[in-house]
Amino acid sequence: MEVEPKNPTFQVQASKSKTRRVWALALAFVVLLVALFRASALPLLPPREVLQTADWTWLGLSFAAFLLSALAKYARIYFLVRPFADIGFGRCLRIGAIAAALVTLLPFRLGEFARPALLREKGKISGWHLTSTVAVERILDGVAFGGVLLLGLWMAPPHEPLPDHIGKLPVPVHLVPAFASWLTLCFGLLLAMMALAYLQRGAIDFVLEKTLGRISRSLAARAGKLVASLVEGVSFVRHGRLSVPYLGLTALHIIAHVYALEWLGFGVGLRELTFSEASTLVGCLAIGFAFPNAPGFFGAVQLSLYAGLGLYLLPADILVEGAALTSIFYFYFLITVLGLAVVMAIAEYGRKGMLLLFSIGSGELSRR
């Protein structure tokens, strides 16, 4: 039986002074980034001459593809949590959209805890199991997008010589291929470690018993249960009816994202942008999204796209058509993530859904 959503009530768990300090630090970082962009002559808005000649048909197709990519990303959550709870597809889609907005808006990726908190049902659905699905999703995405980046670089080799500055800002574009390899390897190792811990849970319990158990057997037992919960997220792989749709939606998410960037390039005048080059841009974006963020992922999106564009465009083109692509993409990203979150929050919780979105600045929120 599907777990019915309840009207949420919220509790401020962090002190207001601590919350203010976190937001003050995050906003100071945003101000610093704005100043850095302005000093480096990197545009934050589309150049007027590009907008005047833009092809709005391609821009509209790009937005539609990006919307499809986001929906595919949120929909696949159902197949991750299915082994632990009978939560309906629609509810997983709605909570996925809400959680994505919280990850985007809250600084330093504090919103990653939103999805487990909103899906958890006391006595029915373990929060640790749900947290494990977030970890597995992030690791699988790291492997998938890293692979897309490496494939894009192989199919569309960067031009030579690569620039070391974009505008007046030092951007080490030449490090992108090496960084892509190392990051993909790291995510692959994390996935292998989690899979090994899942398959060899008896060995993990034995190690904990022989180490932590010498101090406290009860503590070792609790640690073993915690590790088992955290690695349980990979259990969906055993079921083809779950893993195949998940992988299919992941492929749709990535391919639609690539087309969104390619068509956006067409819309701003980059008609020579290929699917392979757009794949590289998507991989660069994934690197930017992988790290702790300023609110709205401001700076991460811009720097990632500028670095990716530096692989293929001349510096003069980056500051015109490249700047238009970057700024319009950022606008699409915010509109899509926040717009879907508002619609899904109202659909899930009614009027109280807006309380969730308007309360994110008041502290860490949890479901009672």
pLDDT above 90: residue 188: no
SS3 121: strand
pLDDT above 80: residue 81: yes
**Beta bridge mates, 165:** 170
How many CB atoms are located within 10 Å of the residue 48 CB? 8
Cα–Cα dist 198/211, whole Å: 19
Proportion of the chain above pLDDT 70, given as a percent: 72
Query: Residue 270 — left, alpha, or beta (φ > 0 → left; ψ -120 to 50 → alpha)?
Result: beta
**Beta bridge mates, 121:** 125
Nearby residues of 95 by Cβ (< 8 Å), 6 or more positions away: 77, 115, 118, 119, 344, 348
Contact by Cβ (8 Å): 282, 254: yes
pLDDT-derived band at 79 (thresholds 50, 70, 90) equals very high
Q: Considering only 4-13, 118-127, 296-305, which range has the smallest mean pLDDT? A: 4-13
Cα–Cα dist 243/229, whole Å: 19
Cα–Cα dist 261/277, whole Å: 10
Contact by Cβ (8 Å): 343, 357: no
Contact by Cβ (8 Å): 261, 329: yes
pLDDT-derived band at 207 (thresholds 50, 70, 90) equals low
pLDDT-derived band at 317 (thresholds 50, 70, 90) equals confident
pLDDT-derived band at 228 (thresholds 50, 70, 90) equals low
Q: What is the mean pLDDT of residues 8-12?
A: 42
Cα–Cα dist 175/178, whole Å: 6
pLDDT for 94 equals 93
Contact by Cβ (8 Å): 113, 364: yes
pLDDT digits (tens, 9 = 90+) for 168-186: 667 777 777 877 888 888 8
Contact by Cβ (8 Å): 114, 297: no
pLDDT digits (tens, 9 = 90+) for 238-279: 788 888 999 999 999 999 999 999 999 999 999 889 999 999
Domain ranges of the chain: 16-362
pLDDT above 70: residue 3: no
User: Would you state the structure tokens that stand for residue 274, as one six-digit string?
Assistant: 């290929």
Please list, residue by residue across 104-139, b when 16 or more beta carbons sit within 10 angstroms of its beta carbon and e when fewer do: bbbbebbbbbbbbbbbbbeeebbbbbbbbbbbbbeb
pLDDT above 70: residue 201: no
Encoded amino acid at 74, one letter: Y
pLDDT above 70: residue 49: yes
pLDDT, greater one: 259 or 345? 259
Cα–Cα dist 341/172, whole Å: 35
pLDDT-derived band at 204 (thresholds 50, 70, 90) equals low
pLDDT for 20 equals 64
CA 60 distance to own-chain centroid: 23
How many CB atoms are located within 10 Å of the residue 249 CB? 19
User: Would you state the structure tokens that stand for residue 308, as one six-digit string?
Assistant: 């990716």
Cα–Cα dist 126/123, whole Å: 7
DSSP annotation of 166: E
Q: Which phi and psi (to 5°) does residue 137 adopt?
A: -60, -45
pLDDT for 159 equals 82
Q: What is the mean pLDDT of residues 28-49?
A: 72
pLDDT digits (tens, 9 = 90+) for 96-136: 999 898 888 887 777 777 888 888 765 566 667 777 888 88
pLDDT, greater one: 336 or 8? 336
Q: What is the mean pLDDT of residues 342-363?
A: 71
pLDDT above 80: residue 167: no
Strands 169-170, 165-166: pairing kind: antiparallel
Q: Which phi and psi (to 5°) does residue 245 adopt?
A: -60, -35
Cα–Cα dist 266/297, whole Å: 25
Sign of CA dihedral 17, 20, 26, 28: negative
pLDDT for 41 equals 63
Q: Considering only 28-37, 112-121, 216-225, which range has the smallest mean pLDDT? A: 216-225
